[in-house]
Amino acid sequence: MTIMVKTMTNTTNKQTLVCLALLAAFSGGAQAHGNEACDSTATLISKIQGSGKSSPMVGQQVTVRALVSAVKPNMGGYYLQEEKSDWDNNSKTSEGIFVADNDAVTVVKSKSKRKLQAGDLVTLTAKVEESHDFTQLSKPSQFKVCSHGHKVDAVTVKLPLTDKYQLETVEGMLIKLPQNLTISDTYSFSRYGQMMLSNGRLFSPTNIASPGKAANKVAAANRLNQIIIDDSSTEKNPPLSIDTNHSFRTGNHISGIEGVVHYSFGNYLIETTGAMEFHTDNKRLAEPPIKTKGQLRVASFNVLNYFNGNGPKKEFPTKRGANTLAECERQTIKIVAGRKVLKVDVFGLMELENDGYDKYSAIVELTDKLNAATGANYQIVRPKSDKLGDGLIAVGMIYDSAMVEPVGTAATLSEFPFNFKSRQPLAQSFKDKKSGETFTVVVNHFKSKGSCPKDKTDPNARKNDGQACWNALRVESSQKLAKWLKSNPTGNNDKDILIIGDLNANVKEDPITALIGAGYQDMVAKYQGEEAYSFVYRGQVGYIDHALASVSMAGQIVDVADWHINADEMRLTDYNLENKSATAQKRLFKADAFRSSDHDPLIIELSLK
């Protein structure tokens, strides 16, 4: 994000502004205009903007006289704002406006070349337009710089906003955000140079409220408690002067934000104009934040479409995941780095390429690489079938043979809905070699919330209750899973059962309450509370990666923690090579666990008895 680097290293710019201010003060303040064009009658910007969403003067030619509040060459223009003495004191009308004018950003004043600057008082005649619901002036003529060195007053705006139209009333104006705001989302950071900020973390509504009215209330509050800062450029994949040490993780904070309000693609954006201060509150942790260690460690990890190429020739691209062998190697390095630090005894994996268990398969290659990196002897849980269903991705499970040994058979469930959208579960019972105690782990990956049915009467269509679509299918998945586990599918009669995996449902949603109703306890809620999260989606955090234990198992779990190596990280630092320059591909990649996936691994500590 170009503006981020500028604002973090903007000492020179600050000094320049100070020098300009001192020059203006020494010369008696702003220069007087004293010419006919600058003294002519002008239309107030507040009248042009009007009190509605669109200008009441669209299509008309107007003459304005106002202060330049920001010059944005990469946006093809600049912003004007009325002098404070000309404000109309109507809170519904904006005093600022954008002028689309590529030529004027390098305007020639008199015979000396002087770039247009914030604080210049200018006059011009232009046409009023609505460009994608953004009021602006275009095709300016009779442009004159009347004087310079003026102070442009910034309006204070705080989050949460009072209503969804509040930023419309300051569209085009210079504003300041006095709060210490949380970085909530960086998804568009590398692509468009944008970040979403909020006043505190935004939680997924159904992570803290029941589906329906309560969740919708949280969603409405979240919409008012967010704002987007932008790099003032329309360039895709802008050059970024950052490296893996920069702290643009979600959960960190930014203060001292000032900028002009723009509107584009349905969003209000703050085009920043000055230096901002970054606060690294949400620091990376080199190891999982475990407080109480157990005898054994179980973990759940969605590895984000780990596909290792087709056959011995490693043919790419495959249906998902890495597009090239180079990307696959980078992805493998990061996943293995995370698993090496985790030191897990039983590992449940999601989003593995569903290509069986031969020596060229994804799970075999990943396990071999882990063994080579750690010196351990991880083994793969192999069901009797060649692979788990016909889907592109599957769950998998590996275990440290020095710590545990399988008991009974590896079991899976292939009946509806696990032969339709939800991936087949995989269950295996183990015996702890030290204590001799047995327990069962079942890995799951329920249907996601995407690709909604087009028929609105379909039971799986979106119900606008915060649970998105395919909720009915996920509920049925929970019910069938609980019933299946009662039948002791592995052949082990021990009632110590641990359900792990990506259930694609937040804790208050129906699929989770169905499992809780079937006698399972939410271990993430017990050890981390309402602020637990493993995933960030559209600036909202929550956990869809679960650890649900039978009553007897719950009493043998001593700690549960998410290791935030992925969800808070910029996707810019992942294994992918596309949309990155050769320099960025090298500089932004590091052979560590961070951004090895988009889900955080979940760790469960067991002390069996």
In a domain, 160, yes or no: yes
Q: What is the average pLDDT across 208-215? A: 98
- What is the rounded average pLDDT of the residues 478-490? 98
For 315, other C-beta atoms within 10 Å of its C-beta total: 10
- Structure confidence at residue 248 as a pLDDT band (50, 70, 90): confident
pLDDT of residue 586: 85
Last residue of a domain, one of 110, 128, 147: 147
Does 328 score more than 50 pLDDT? yes
Instruction: Say if residue 4's pLDDT is above 50.
Output: no
User: Which tens digit of pLDDT belongs to each residue from 58-77?
Assistant: 999 999 999 999 999 989 99
Domain assignment of residue 286, yes or no: no
Residues 338 and 483 in one domain: yes
- Please give the structure tokens belonging to residue 260: 């002009």
Residue 449 and residue 499 share a domain: yes
Burial pattern 93-132, b for ≥16 Cβ within 10 A else e, equals bbbbbbbbbeebbebeeeeeeeebbbbbbbbbbbbbbeee
Are residues 223 and 368 located together in one domain of the fold? no
At residue 215, the pLDDT reads 98
Reported as a single tens digit per residue, the pLDDT across 159-169 is 999 999 999 99
Helix (H) or strand (E) holding 505: none
Per-residue pLDDT, 2? 37
Q: What is the pLDDT of residue 233?
A: 82
Secondary structure (3-state) at 395 = strand
pLDDT in tens, 566-583: 999 998 899 999 888 788
The DSSP code sequence of 23-40 is HHHHTTSSPP--SHHHHS
**What is 219-275 written as a DSSP string?**
HHHHHHS-EEEE-S---SS------TTS---TT-EEE-EEEEEEEETTEEEEEE-S-
User: What would the mean pLDDT of 296-300 be, rounded to a whole number?
Assistant: 98
**pLDDT (average), residues 17-36:** 38
Average pLDDT value for residue range 512-538: 97
Q: Are residues 105 and 184 in the same domain?
A: no
> How far, in Å, CA of 49 to CA of 67, rounded?
16
Query: pLDDT band at 35, cuts 50/70/90?
Result: low
Q: Tell me: pLDDT of 22 over 80.
A: no
- Look at residue 115 in the predicted model and tell me its pLDDT: 81
Is the pLDDT at 589 greater than 60, yes or no?
A: yes
Whether 126 and 141 have beta carbons less than 8 Å apart is answered as yes
What is the arithmetic mean of pLDDT over 263-289?
93
Can you give the length of the chain in residues?
609
pLDDT at residue 19 greater than cutoff 50: no
What mean pLDDT value characterizes the chain?
91
Range of lowest pLDDT (234-248, 326-340, 388-402): 234-248
Confidence of residue 584 (pLDDT cuts 50, 70, 90): confident
What pLDDT is recorded for position 15? Answer: 34
Amino acid at 493: N
Q: Is the pLDDT of residue 498 over 80?
A: yes
CA dist 490 and 594 (Å) reads 35
Quick one: pLDDT at residue 106? Answer: 63
What mean pLDDT is predicted for residues 127-137? Answer: 95
Q: Say how many domains are in the chain.
A: 3
User: pLDDT for 72-125, tens place per residue?
Assistant: 998 999 999 999 999 998 999 999 999 999 876 665 554 556 689 999 999 999
Sheet holding 378-380, edge to edge: 378-380, 393-400, 346-353, 296-306, 602-606, 557-562
Judge residue 463's burial from the number of C-beta atoms within 10 Å of its C-beta, 0-12 exposed, 13-18 middle, 19 or more buried.
middle
Whether 30 shows a pLDDT value over 80: the answer reads no
Identify the domain containing residue 55 by its residue range.
2-22+36-147
Q: Which residue type is seen at 376?
A: A
Residue 379: CATH number of its domain: 3.60.10.10
Residues 215, 168 share a domain: yes
pTM of the model as a whole: 0.90
Helix and strand numbers, DSSP H then E, in the chain: 14, 31
Predicted confidence at residue 247, as pLDDT, reads 67
Are 325 and 225 within one domain?
no
pLDDT exceeds cutoff 70 at 263: yes
pLDDT of residue 477: 98
Average pLDDT over residues 50-60: 95
Q: Give pLDDT, residue 342.
A: 95
pLDDT above 80 (res 207): yes
The CATH number covering residue 214 comes to 2.40.50.140
pLDDT in tens, 431-442: 999 999 999 999
Mean pLDDT of 575-596: 89
Identify the CA nearest to 420 among candidates 357, 347, 490, 470: 470
In a domain, 29, yes or no: no
CB-based contact 58:122 (threshold 8 Å): no
Considering the domain architecture, whether residues 546 and 414 belong to the same structural domain is answered as yes
Give the residue from 609, 608, 606 showing the smallest Cα distance to 294. Answer: 606
256/400 same-domain check: no
Mean pLDDT of the region 131-137:
94
| 138 and 160 assigned to the same domain | no
One domain for residues 93 and 165: no
Judged by DSSP in three states, 164 sits in coil
Q: Are residues 114 and 246 in the same domain?
A: no
Question: For residue 85, is it within any domain?
Answer: yes
Q: Tell me the per-residue pLDDT of 366-378, one tens digit each, with 9 for 90 and over.
A: 999 999 999 999 9
* Residue 31 forms part of a structural domain: no
* pLDDT of the residue at 112: 54
Least confident window among 19-23, 405-409, 417-421: 19-23
Task: Say what the pLDDT of residue 235 is.
Answer: 76
Q: 130, 147, 164: which is the final residue of a domain?
A: 147
- Give the percent of the chain with pLDDT over 90: 81
Question: What tokens does 397 get?
Answer: 């499970």
Model pLDDT, residue 83:
96
> Which amino acid is present at 174?
L
99 near 83, Cβ under 8 Å? no
State the burial class of residue 279 (Cβ atoms within 10 Å of its Cβ: 0-12, 13-18, 19+).
middle
Token output for 607:
């002390």
Check pLDDT > 80 for residue 29. Answer: no
Residue 161 exposed, middle or buried by CB count within 10 Å (0-12, 13-18, 19+) = middle
Predicted pLDDT of residue 193: 86
Please determine, for residue 271, whether its predicted confidence score (pLDDT) is greater than 70. yes
In this predicted model, which residue has the larger pLDDT, 422 or 108?
Answer: 422
The answer to whether the beta carbons of residues 407 and 420 sit under 8 Å apart is no
Can you read off the two tokens belonging to residue 224?
């008012």
Closest CA to 138 of 95, 103, 87, 170: 103
Between CA 514 and CA 374 the distance in angstroms is: 39
CA 487, 493, 496, 497 torsion-angle sign: negative
